[in-house]
Amino acid sequence: MSRLLIRGGHCVRPDGVTQQNILIENGAFLDFDPPASAHTDDVIDATGMHVFPGLIDDQVHFREPGLTHKEDLRTGSMAAAKGGVTAFMEMPNTSPTTTSADALSAKLARAKRSCVVDYGFFGGATGQNTAWLREETRACGIKIFIGSSTGDLLVDEQELLEEIFAQTRLPIAAHCEDETLVRANAAALDGGLVISDHSKIRNAEAAAKSAARTIDLARRHKHRFHLLHVSSAAECDVLRDRPEWVTAEACPHHLFFDTTDYDRLGSRVQMNPALKSPEDKEAVWAALQDGTIEVLATDHAPHTLEEKDEPYPRSPSGLPSIEWLLPLMINAASEGRCTFEQIAAWGAANPAKIWDLKGKGSLKVGLDADFSIVDTEALSEVQDGSQVTKCNWSPWHGSALRGMVCSTWVRGFRAYHEGQFADPGSAQPLQYERGVS
């Protein structure tokens, strides 16, 4: 039996921060404040540091297979580890899409060879593959693009949506923007589009209308549903009238950017759903604070700068963010926008609960020893050209964020330490505690 002691760190949990020694055995938390006589094989001194639970990012796009010039599972998982993320859940809009048992098997095999943090994959709904989704148990959930998709992943027909919600049991996550309204908004703009038009086309009404439609499906079919990347006050209002089995998330780009940032950053902050007003940004923060939104996720969606610099609307939507998730939030805490305890809840405890993750989510005896050792006073310098993510740029270029991840551990194995990464092969697929066999 291998035992590791983390000594002197301040352990961050949703209910408080306490200085404790942590004893880890065979990849799990064995004890907090063990007796001095407890046997250890190795000791890590974390005096003056904070120990955060490993963050769980339930929405990433790591682009493998098919688009690996932007990102791949290896580089994406490395960026995750640097950002304090110990498990990710990846979306199905790769090439080919993850819309069959064979495609999911292929992704799981690729991840086993490539990843340094634990991993899960969504099965994508096409409207034609409900039979597979009904039986699949290895997927973390079902992803539906109700608006704004690529290839065959757009599902907008009411009959098909009713079928998916009625006949499947895995939790459903959806990108919600009303496709009809988006197209009408685009048609109403007479050519000569500029980047700021993106937020006029994909406006708050389109997002809220689709969210309300999908929550109605979840309510009537009593199906667990997770609303991805909330971007507006209107969506927050819709969420306040929902059944208990409906949850939601916010992403860094909607918390730290708004429509006033187009002049400075252009298509680098083009994403779907689009940026909204400064007032909408504050409403999303408020919804996180009051529990209307439970989860923090990145929607990490890298493209090369050459692709992003194409004239709008040829420029693709999406940006990289997972590499800086924990520093971004620690920096926000330093500015009074949130607390360390809230970061632990939004980033770890809540996603573990919502997605039924076995052994994940907290600094607690018996759970997987997933954590990061963080210097909350050190500055993380964000510079294009020195990123771990393969696209090698960041919309936060030039920022000095208060908070630096010194090391990240997955099931007691050090995946990242001061710029160095473990070899792949130790990461494992996520396991689920849910009522499906």
The residue behind tokens 């980047």 is 195
Contact 144, 164 (CB under 8 A): yes
Rounded CA-CA distance 38/326 in Å is 32
Within 202-270, residue ranges assigned H as helices are 204-221, 233-239, 252-256, 262-265
Rounded CA-CA distance 252/322 in Å is 9
For residue 366, count CB atoms less than 10 angstroms from its CB and return exposed for 0-12, middle for 13-18, buried for 19 or more.
exposed
Rounded CA-CA distance 346/288 in Å is 8
Give the model's pLDDT for residue 1.
62
Give the model's pLDDT for residue 437.
31
Report residue 321 as tokens. 């963010």
**Domains observed in the chain:** 3-51+367-378+400-421 (2.30.40.10), 54-354 (3.20.20.140)
Q: How many CA atoms lie within 13 A of 106 on its CB side?
A: 14
Task: Annotate 171-193 with b (16+ C-beta within 10 A) or e (fewer).
Answer: bbbbbbbbbebbeebeeeeeeee
Report residue 236 as tokens. 């927050």
List beta partners, residue 119. Answer: 88, 429
Predicted model pTM: 0.97
N- to C-terminal Cα distance for the chain?
32
Give the model's pLDDT for residue 2.
87
Give the model's pLDDT for residue 151.
59
**pLDDT tens by residue, the chain, 437 residues:** 689 999 999 999 999 999 999 999 999 999 999 999 999 999 999 999 999 999 999 999 999 999 999 999 999 999 999 999 999 999 999 999 999 999 999 999 999 999 999 999 999 999 999 999 999 999 999 999 997 655 578 999 999 999 999 999 999 999 999 999 999 999 999 778 999 999 999 999 999 999 999 999 999 999 999 999 999 999 999 999 999 999 999 999 999 999 999 999 999 999 999 999 999 999 999 999 999 999 999 999 999 999 999 999 999 999 999 999 999 999 999 999 999 999 999 999 999 999 999 999 999 999 999 999 999 999 999 999 999 999 999 999 999 999 999 999 999 999 999 999 999 988 999 999 985 43
Report residue 40 as tokens. 């250890």
Rounded CA-CA distance 73/255 in Å is 26
Rounded CA-CA distance 270/316 in Å is 7
CA 342, 348, 350 angle in degrees (round to 5)?
A: 80
Total count of residues recorded for the chain: 437
| 299 catalytically annotated | yes
Report residue 65 as tokens. 């297979």
Give the number of other Cβ atoms within 10 Å of residue 386's Cβ: 10
Report strand pairing: 246-250 vs 28-32.
unpaired
Rounded CA-CA distance 5/41 in Å is 8
Q: Which of 182, 122, 123 is nearest to 147 (CA)?
A: 182
Tell me if residue 138 falls in helix, strand or coil: coil
Contact 182, 366 (CB under 8 A): no
Rounded CA-CA distance 189/8 in Å is 59
Give the model's pLDDT for residue 434.
83
- Which helix (H) or strand (E) segment holds residue 137: the answer is none
State the catalytic residue, choosing from 57, 178, 299, 356.
299
Report residue 374 as tokens. 């963080």
Contact 295, 315 (CB under 8 A): no
Contact 46, 414 (CB under 8 A): no
